[in-house]
């Protein structure tokens, strides 16, 4: 069914805009008129096509207009509310289209609704858009459809998505100040090297005496920076692009992720964040009727680190042979011991889903605590570095002046 983007005047003369699906332009105009609106502009828009797993120029534009997880969470909660109120799924999706603000999400939901009308299940329709709805989403929806608890599953999905986004937001907020300090220190150093140091060099050029070592270092650094600044920029670009290209290959991604895990402080943070995702996602899947092996297969793809994903994949094989999850993960020596012990307690007590949820909560707090500690450590270090750079430049400028004064006396 075609989708149309329209602009119209309502009964009060106020300009409104939105999106509507209809069998044709005439039917779309009739729908808008029936709602008591006067059409100004009506245009058929290209629908977001189901993804075929390939990259192209079109996929780049789709990335630029991507739908955020926060929008997905809001949409999911609204859909759960409509279904809980007794709306049939197609009617709920139709009502949801008019409530959404994102045009990209409206087009996607319109495509999902048409797929359901044509006979697809809700989960199969969602599965046509894997970049928007990840496997955990479609599998939990499939479990909710089969068990008749779709509204409960959607509420749970909204909770999980909002929780993960809130954690990510807190981490980003905690790192803003150190990054600002780093940027300011770089700008100050660049200003001193480009504008201040050349004037100092010209001022001391006529002196027939050797300049102090700090001054010589400063002048040499300034000359090098002014002459070969383009080399520095090219070097930074090459390093960034090289790391990006390396991470696109399976072997390079594995090496990079293993390197990140070995970093003294950030490695622990990455490990705890992966455990948090693992536990929360696996708990949600198991609670909503997904069996253990398919759930582990889904979780393997969302932990965000290749060595940890490999450990989950190996544990999946062992679980398939009848081994316990805790013991299977313990054999890889990559998950924290506390998480292993809590999972084993959950297996022994028969409350694995509940215990996994607690593991997720524990490591969510651990991630927040580790982030705050890193921030508390980075801030004074950045201040000291910035102060050290400025102090060195001031000394390099002041020492020749002091020596000049002594020479005059």
- Domain coordinates of the chain in residue numbers? 3-45, 57-161, 163-409
Least confident interval from 21-30, 63-72, 150-159: 63-72
Least confident interval from 17-26, 150-159, 165-174, 242-251: 17-26
The pLDDT assigned to 58 comes to 38
Helices 150-191 and 69-84, packing angle to 10 deg: 160
Asked if the domains at 57-161 and 163-409 fall in one CATH topology, the answer is yes
Confidence bin at 59 (pLDDT 50/70/90): very low
In this prediction, residues 85-107 reach a mean pLDDT of 83
CA distance 138 to 136: 6
The pLDDT assigned to 209 comes to 64
The pLDDT assigned to 1 comes to 58
The CATH code that applies to domain 163-409 is 1.20.81.30
Least confident interval from 52-56, 225-229, 332-336: 52-56
Helices 250-262 and 306-320, packing angle to 10 deg: 100
CB 95 within 8 A of CB 109: no
The pLDDT assigned to 355 comes to 92
In this prediction, residues 287-292 reach a mean pLDDT of 82
Vertex 151 angle, CA 296 and 147, to 5°: 60
| CATH for 57-161, options being 3.30.70.141, 1.20.81.30, 3.40.50.300, 3.40.50.11780 | 1.20.81.30
- The most confident of the ranges 161-165, 312-316, 377-381, 387-391 is 312-316
In this prediction, residues 13-22 reach a mean pLDDT of 71
**Whether the predicted pLDDT of 84 surpasses 90:** no
State in Å, rounded, how far the first CA of the chain is from the last one: 92
Q: Supply the pTM of this predicted model.
A: 0.67
């Amino acid at each position: 069914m075609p989708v149309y983007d329209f602009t119209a005047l309502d009964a009060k003369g106020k300009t409104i805009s939105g999106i509507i699906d209809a069998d044709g332009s005439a039917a779309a105009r009739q729908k808008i008129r029936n709602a008591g609106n006067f059409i100004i502009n009506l245009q058929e828009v290209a629908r977001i096509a189901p993804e075929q797993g390939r990259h192209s120029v079109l996929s780049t534009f789709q990335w630029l207009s991507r739908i955020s997880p926060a929008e997905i969470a809001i949409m999911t909660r609204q859909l759960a509310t409509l279904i809980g109120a007794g709306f049939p799924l197609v009617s709920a999706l139709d009502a949801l289209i008019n409530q959404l603000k994102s045009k990209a999400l409206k087009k996607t939901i319109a495509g999902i609704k048409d797929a359901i009308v044509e006979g697809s299940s809700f989960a199969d329709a969602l599965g046509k858009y894997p970049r928007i709805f990840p496997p955990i989403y479609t599998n939990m929806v499939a479990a909710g459809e089969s068990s008749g608890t779709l509204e409960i599953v959607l509420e749970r999905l909204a909770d999980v998505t909002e929780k993960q986004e809130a954690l990510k937001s807190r981490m980003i907020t905690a790192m803003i100040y150190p990054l600002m300090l780093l940027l300011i220190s770089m700008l100050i150093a660049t200003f001193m090297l480009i504008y201040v140091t050349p004037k100092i060099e010209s001022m001391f050029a006529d002196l027939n005496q050797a300049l102090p070592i700090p001054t010589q270092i400063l002048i040499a650094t300034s000359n090098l920076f002014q002459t070969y600044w383009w080399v520095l920029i090219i070097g930074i670009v090459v390093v960034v692009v090289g790391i990006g290209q390396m991470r696109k290959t399976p072997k390079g991604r594995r090496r990079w992720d293993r390197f990140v895990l070995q970093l003294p402080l950030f490695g622990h943070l990455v490990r705890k964040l992966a455990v948090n995702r693992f536990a929360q996602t696996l708990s949600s899947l198991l609670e909503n009727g997904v069996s253990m092996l398919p759930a582990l297969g889904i979780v393997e793809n969302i932990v965000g680190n290749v060595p940890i994903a490999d450990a989950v994949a190996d544990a999946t094989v062992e679980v398939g042979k009848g081994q316990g999850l805790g013991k299977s993960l313990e054999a890889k020596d990559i998950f924290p011991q506390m998480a292993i012990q809590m999972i084993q307690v959950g297996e022994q007590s028969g409350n694995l889903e509940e215990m996994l949820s607690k593991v997720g909560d524990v490591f969510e707090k651990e991630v927040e605590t580790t982030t705050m500690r890193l921030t508390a450590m980075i801030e004074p270090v950045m201040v000291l570095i910035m102060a050290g750079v400025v102090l060195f430049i001031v000394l390099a400028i002041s020492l020749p002046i002091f020596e000049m004064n002594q020479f005059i006396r």
